[in-house]
Every structure is written in structure tokens, then in C-alpha cells.
Structure 1
């Protein structure tokens, strides 16, 4: 006891305060359907897309409608790679469609989702969920890739980030199956989880209800589609309950036909 008292007295005498606990890290996360690099005006301009992404100042970004050597609409460019280089970020691309090249020796034609990260990507996987192909005549819903999962380390703590693009059809049956598939995948992972994506449904849609039993919606209090005058909120940043949502908003830009969603999330201490 006398030794402890002497130590306290010495600390006070020297004017040294006890070290404060480190603040909990904050992660800025975005979700953006980039419309394959075409703006609300229908003009392809990947530099404009990159500028819109740069203006978000996000640590991690989930992207949808990403072309990689897909076709003439995006000049057969590698959008995932080019955007990562333009922003100085790491990238994982998860194709939904992966087709033969147009000519021998050319790159494969791919279209899907991606995750951009300022933090190194420690692990990544392209999961299968239920999909109804738009490329195959008379297709039926079946498991197919295009659900991206990456693990990044924030202050040495692993955080899993997912990017998805759900079915667009009016009938919610495929989205219902996709939600169940995604929850199954998320349920196998431990620790903080962030799901970003274009859900092609609004928050109150019945097919999304199961998500809200496990994830919190970073509600930006504004629409995301169409970009010029949004009347629907189709785009989301959601987080597991061990993450605290500090703030969320949409960002006014017509670099795509959707607006991005931007959220600040506090990680567990």
C-alpha cells in the first residue's frame, strides 16, 4: 500500500496523467451502384465515377454494376482495377457473370460487384447466392456467384465487409431467397460485419424483414434512386449489432443513376 501511494504521489508530482483509453475506431463506409460508369445522362465517363468516389472520402466502398472487360458500353475496360488505382485503394472484384472472351487472347468478359478498401484485404471470397440469370433463355433461379466478402484489419481487428446486388424483378421471390442465403453466409462469420448493396427494394419491403433481425440499417433519411430526383431508397449500408451507427447520408451526384450511401460506423473497442 505504501509503495502504491508513493507511485501515485510521484505521478501527481510530475504532472503525468494516466493514459486515456484509445477511442474506438470509426470506419467510413459507402455503397454505390456505379451503373457501369455511366451517369444519369447515360454518358460513360469513368473519370467522373472516380471523382464521385473520391469525394466520399470513404475507407471502404461496396460497388455494384461493375464491368471488367464486359462490352462496348464501358469500352471493354477493367473498371474495378482502374477505380482502385485512381483512388489508391485495394480492390476485390466478384463477378456475377464470367463469359468467354470476344477473341482469342482477350480478357474474359465479367460483370459483378466489388469492394474497394483503404485497408489491405486480408481475405476475400465470391459466394454463391440464388440468382435468376438475365443472360440465359428460360433460366430458373439457381445458386450463382456475385456476393463479395472481404476481411480487412482495422487496428488489427478483423472486420468483414460484404457487397451485394439483389434481384430487380417486381416478384420478390428471388430476393427472399437471396436474403436467406446472405444471412446464412453472414451467420457463419464471427466479429463485426458490414453488408453494403443495391437491394432493389425499399427498407419496409417484406422480403428484407429478416435482415433487420440481424443487421442495423444506417438510414440516410433520403432516397437513392433515381439520382437526379430520388424517390426510392434502394441502396444500403447495414451493420451487425456490435457496430454503432454514428451518422449516415446520401450524396447528391449524377455520376450514376443511383446516389451513394455514406455511413460512419464505430467499431467495438
Structure 2
């Protein structure tokens, strides 16, 4: 028997209900904040997004998926991502919103405290990239010095706007560790410089005019026109503490539009950009 699309979506939604009720990340209200299946929309083919999803936080993965589905980007870079959470977000994006993504991970830490699991098999923690198009040539690099917690970057080759592009996703050392971030940025910039066209997503834990970001500014521009040293005062904040720490750096590409969207699901805002690859 061949099931119709409506039947498959309904079945997927019922499976998601069971996962929510049994999982540790169940929302306070059933599918709180989720967009109904009828609101399925097309993925925006030239849109990229970065989001530090906050971990450990008492946040529903149903709500996280709903936030992403609102903008339906082609590529999403997640930081502070537990593999189990990303798996559930990806499932909800498909079963509740009809959005199908491939996934690659850049985990740098196995952490029971952050990601659960059992002592002999704790959850993997770090970065993840979701892409509507297949991804190839994944690399995952742990920085030689992560600071107070292991940190790193990952990179994949995928399609954005129908064009092939290298996409990076990183999370730099925590605040008040400027010298550590400076070294990390140097490692990242060396790799980004190898590509004529690249998109660099991430939580850099540094404001735009911080000295440690100089290697990135030498290679790429922020998606927000005018947001670069020394006129960094024009940059929109991306965190609950009114700092810009999150970036979509574009190398060899032009921004078309961008948006910063505060969310109750994280202490970092969603940041997305539509890009011109022609």
C-alpha cells in the first residue's frame, strides 16, 4: 500500500509526539510554538543561518525546529550542539514542517553533563551543519588551545543558491579569553583563505572591533553592510546581553538581506543572511 503525502506527514507528526513525550527535551505545552504541518514552506535556496542554540538549557527541540522552519534556510550552522538534540531538530523539521536536511557534525567534546547519555557513552558536543543539499569534504578541527572548554571549527562543501561554496562553522573560546581566541582565529583564517568563495558562520564570542577578529576582517565582510571596524557601532546585537558575537562572514559573495531574530529558545539570537553568489 502506498501512503499519500498527507498520511505520511500525519504519521511523522504522531511519531514526533511520542518522541516529545518520552524525551528529556519535551516542551511545557504539546508542540509549544510549533508551526502546524499545513504551514510547510519551501526552503530559501540562497539563505544561510547561524545559531548558538544554548546548551545545557531547558529548551524544547520542537521549539528550536519551529524557529528554524520560520526562515527555512538552505544552510544552518549550529553551535553548542549535542548530537542527540540535532537529530531531534532534524526529525521535527521534516515531520512537522516538511523541510528535509542533510547533517554533518563537528563535535569536539563528549560531555555527559551537557549532552546526557551514560558515563561510558556520553553525548557528543560541538558544531553541526544542516544543509538542504548534500555535503562533501567534511573536516572537523579542534583548536590546539580551546581555552576553558574544547572548541573547534568544521567545514563542508555544499550548494547555496545553486552554486558550490565552502561553508565553515565555528565556536571560539569563551569571553575574557582574548589571547586564546586570537590564536583560534588565526587557525581558522588560514583555512578560509584557501577558498575564493566561502561562508563562515559562528559564535566568535567577540565584538566586531575586538583585535582578535582582525584576521577574519582581512578576508571577509560581515553580512550587514557597514558592520566592520572601525564603524562597528552600526552592528546589530545578537545576544541577550546586547553584544554582537554571532557572524555570517562572506568571502567572494555579496549580501542581499539579513535579519537578527531574538528568541526565547536561546540566549543568542538567530542570524540569517540571503546571499548573492553570482
TM-score by length of 2: 0.71
- Asked whether the 8 Å contact 2:75–2:160 carries over to 1, the reply is no
Q: Higher relative CO (CA 8 A, sep ≥ 6), structure 1 or 2? A: 1
Deviations 1:86-106 (A, max 9, x none): 2221111111203697355xx
RMSD after superposition: 2.3
Residue 48 (structure 1) aligned with residue 63 (structure 2): yes
- Asked whether the 8 Å contact 2:221–2:250 carries over to 1, the reply is yes
| Long gaps (5+) in structure 1 | 1-24, 69-77, 136-143
Residue 102 (structure 1) aligned with residue 112 (structure 2): no
Give 1:187 shift. 2.2
Equivalents in 1 of 2:267, 2:137: separation in Å?
31
* Greater share of helix: 2
Quote the residue 1:179 is aligned against: 185
Deviations 1:178-198 (A, max 9, x none): 11000111123x342100000
Q: Secondary structure at the match of 2:55?
A: helix
Equivalents in 1 of 2:238, 2:119: separation in Å?
38
- Asked whether the 8 Å contact 1:128–1:147 carries over to 2, the reply is yes
Quote the residue 1:151 is aligned against: 157
Give the one of 225, 231, 256 matched to 2:242. 231
Give the one of 135, 152, 157 matched to 1:121. 135
- Asked whether the 8 Å contact 1:90–1:118 carries over to 2, the reply is yes
Quote the residue 1:92 is aligned against: 104
TM-score by length of 1: 0.73
Equivalents in 1 of 2:145, 2:125: separation in Å?
14
Q: Secondary structure at the match of 1:195?
A: strand
Give the greater-gyration-radius structure (CA): 1
